[in-house]
Amino acid sequence: MSEFDEYIVHGEPGQKEKADAWQTAIGLQDVDGLKVSTYLLDTARQHIEGDISIDEARDRIKAYYETKSEHDAVDEEGDKASVNIVKILNEPSFAFSLVGLTSIHRRIFEGVFKFAGQLRQVELSKKEWVLGGNASVSYQPAIDLREAIEYDLSWEKEFDYSNRPMAEIIKHLSQFIADLWQIHPFREGNTRTTAVFLIKYLRSMGIPVTNDMFKEHSWYFRNALVRASYKGLNIAPTTEFVERFLRNVILGEKNELRNRDMLVGASLPTPAIQSVTEDSPKSNICSLDCTLEETAILRCIESNPKMTQKEMASTIRKSERTVKTITSSLVEKGIIVRRNGRRNGWWEIIK
């Protein structure tokens, strides 16, 4: 059982949400091979159980490293970034803008990097394990960062998600997030910032996000972004692996996520970080030709068949009238059915 799973399985609703955010935040540190301290885990438990607020948790972590004479810098970065990510994930606000993106970076790495929230002014090159350990993605030149980010965000804002099949939506989202990541706006922490930005963006569109994908497969997520961005001799960029990841995140599918499937070149040693497979059956909704809003409703029903339309509206951030329209459409299409009446009944996905 993973850290905090007891709260996910048996905890109260508020505890489940907090535990989920902590698992996601800690899992994202694997992107850079970072670990968290026992003190951070103990502090997280106190926050999950309601003994302290998230701000008190942040203060404790800050004070812990201010007073600790000897500590591991790796633990410090992982601890501070984790508690900051939890605070961001627990907040409903989100700004889909350049300021919103830089704000997320600043808030994640406040007290960690002196350049937190600042666009880089240096050129980057990083040798990637998935590219054989001797090649790097070509990142955006520092002089063009602001223009490149604003272009990608503007392009995304113009995309109309309504009445599009999920296969098209996931392919589009995969390309968008890969393009945004390839810009690499910051000197460090780009993948963690991109992941938090993506989670907040999906939630803002009313999509219930399966955060455990980021908890368990953050290293896969990064390697998938590399493969979507790298162009080399006889190697073309592909969003295939990002799409596989997002199908799990958005549709709740259980596609295998194996780092070795993305390897370029000769046989390479297995990384010390994540390489996990999932053998569970796919979600009931994985193959349906549904719109984004219909998929969000189906995910709600899948997680809680007794969920009311009012609760669905709150979850996907749409009006109750919109939810009633969507559920009626799904009933007419023969995809869902209401069992045992309106008052004490439940929804069932039948197709």
Residue-wise pLDDT for 185-210, tens only, equals 999 999 999 999 999 999 998 887 76
Phi and psi for 89 in degrees, rounded to 5? Answer: -65, -30
Whether the CB-CB separation of 179 and 131 falls below 8 Å is answered with no
336 forms bridges with which residues in the sheet? 349
Average pLDDT of the chain? 87
Which whole-number Å values give the CA distances from 254 to 22, 165, 178, 195, in the listed order? 22, 19, 21, 19
Q: Which amino acid, one-letter code, is at 287?
A: S
Flag the least confident range among 28-37, 47-56, 164-173, 267-276: 267-276
In this prediction, residue 1 carries a pLDDT of 46
User: Which residues have a Cβ under 8 Å from the Cβ of 70 and sit 6 or more positions away?
Assistant: none
Give the distance, in angstroms, between the CA of residue 170 and the centroid of all CA atoms in the same chain.
14
* Mean pLDDT along residues 71-86: 88
Which whole-number Å values give the CA distances from 189 to 81, 115, 167, 259, 316, in the listed order? 10, 11, 30, 20, 29
Q: Residues 114, 119, 121, 127: what is their CA dihedral angle, to the nearest 10 degrees?
A: 90
292-349: what CATH class? mainly alpha
CA angle, residues 273, 241, 135, in degrees to nearest 5:
65
Residues in the chain: 351
CA angle, residues 45, 219, 171, in degrees to nearest 5:
110
Domain limits, the chain: 1-91, 120-283, 292-349
* Burial category of 13 from C-beta neighbours within 10 Å (exposed 0-12, middle 13-18, buried 19 and up): exposed
In this prediction, residue 271 carries a pLDDT of 44
Span 120-283 CATH architecture: Orthogonal Bundle (1.10)
Query: One fold for both 120-283 and 292-349?
Result: no
| pTM of the complete model | 0.83
- The answer on pLDDT for 292 being more than 90 is no
* Burial category of 121 from C-beta neighbours within 10 Å (exposed 0-12, middle 13-18, buried 19 and up): exposed
* Mean pLDDT along residues 25-31: 93
List, for residues 239-290, the tens digit of each pLDDT value: 999 999 999 998 888 899 999 999 986 444 444 444 333 344 445 554 557 7
